[in-house]
Amino acid sequence: MTVGRGATERLEILGLTAAELEEALARLLEEAREPRYRLGQLREWLFRRTPADFGGMSDLPKRLRERLDAAFVLLPLQRSIEKVSSDGTRKLLWTRSDGGSIESVVIPDRDRVTYCISTQAGCPVKCTFCATGHGGFQGQLRAAEIVGQVLGLRAVTGLSPTNVVYMGMGEPLLNFEAVKRSLEVLTSPDLAGFGARRITVSTVGIPDRIRELGELFPQVKLALSFHAARDDLRTEIIPLNRKHPLADVIAALRDHTRITGKKVTLEYIVLPGVNDTERDAREVIERVRGLPSRINLIGFNPFPGAPYTKPSVKRLLVFRKWLEAGFEGEVTIRRSRGEDIQGACGQLSLKHALEAAGAVVPE
């Protein structure tokens, strides 16, 4: 991707694959009459140290740093707002170079640090439980913006991730080309070098893309935004279910587990009075019978204008008990994090947009 700067265009360097990066940097070094070993120094700066700009690459000659700045964009996102929760969760709102904002989250938990990153600005899917959908859709993120969140979070917080989840704003499989490229960059040993097994992609269910993701990145984990086991209710919660009915999605999940040999995680947001009855639990058990999977229950996190309420801990425990009576895999309850800083997907961005429009938003 190129970005205009006056009469010139600059490449977004974090969106280049290993072969593309080597070719571009080798050409620039040759033109600058710099030795080849600078390639290793540049990779170290880009993917291990990640300064705010090329000027911060202190052991490179000033003339080379100026050439790099003229040819490339380093970080395509600018930090706008950062909030830190009482439980240590950190949420960042980033401003995009072409307008609008996105968010990502850092969740420290004992010896684990999870990065939750976005793939779209807003989301076109409009799931009724999600603040991101309520904020509207502003566009696709480029691969460099996806990678930039990971490297930017590490640079800002000083916390290296043990896990990266494509589970922030947007539907990753509706921005598949950029997601594929970002996974190439993040998992390449010559670039960011993150283990593919430490990465999870979450989706509401795009069957063909689920299969393709498994073929291309068999070590990357998959999570399905599930939430209901019958089509009428799931369509009410996730409108895209009309286009991709649950039977097609589950069939794709079965193919994915066959291709990769990995279990899939079924994310289930518990919406009191909507999808949390004993009947719902029985339908879930029947729908996924024989699918290598685990279920992760999530209590709904309210946001301004939300049509649902937050479930009690007792309700979550009862629903888990019903599932455990017949489900073949593990059933867990996700501990809510960052509630005091609008930690769930899209909440900080929605709050920021509402305040900018003059609305009074309760903390």
Check 116, 123, 127, 345 and give the catalytic one: 345
Q: Which ranges constitute the DSSP H helices of 7-162?
A: 18-32, 38-44, 62-71, 131-134, 143-157
**Token duo for residue 12:** 């977004």
Among 103, 145, 171, 267, the active-site one is 103
B/e letters for 29-49, b = 16+ CB within 10 Å, e = fewer, are: beeeebeeebeeebbebbbee
CA 138 → CA 121, 132, 134, 141, 168, distances in Å?
Answer: 5, 11, 12, 9, 15
134/353 Cα distance (integer angstroms): 11
Distance separating alpha carbons of residues 162 and 335, to the nearest angstrom: 18
3-state secondary structure of 280: helix
Q: What 3-state class would DSSP assign to 282?
A: helix
Residue the block writes with tokens 């029947």: 286
| 103 noted as active-site residue | yes
Question: How far apart are the C-alpha atoms of 216 and 197, rounded to whole Å?
Answer: 13
For the chain, what's the residue count?
363
Please report which helix (H) or strand (E) contains residue 81, including its range. strand 77-84
Asked if 204 and 225 count as a contact pair (C-beta separation under 8 A), the reply is yes
Residue 330 falls in the annotated catalytic set: no
Judged by phi (left if over 0) then psi (alpha if -120 to 50, else beta), residue 239 lies in alpha
What is the C-alpha to C-alpha distance for residues 91 and 346, in angstroms, rounded to an integer? 11
d(CA 275, CA 227): 7
Give which of 320, 114, 304 is closest to 202, Cα–Cα. 114
Locate 290 and state its tokens: 């024989």
**Catalytic annotation, residues:** 103, 345
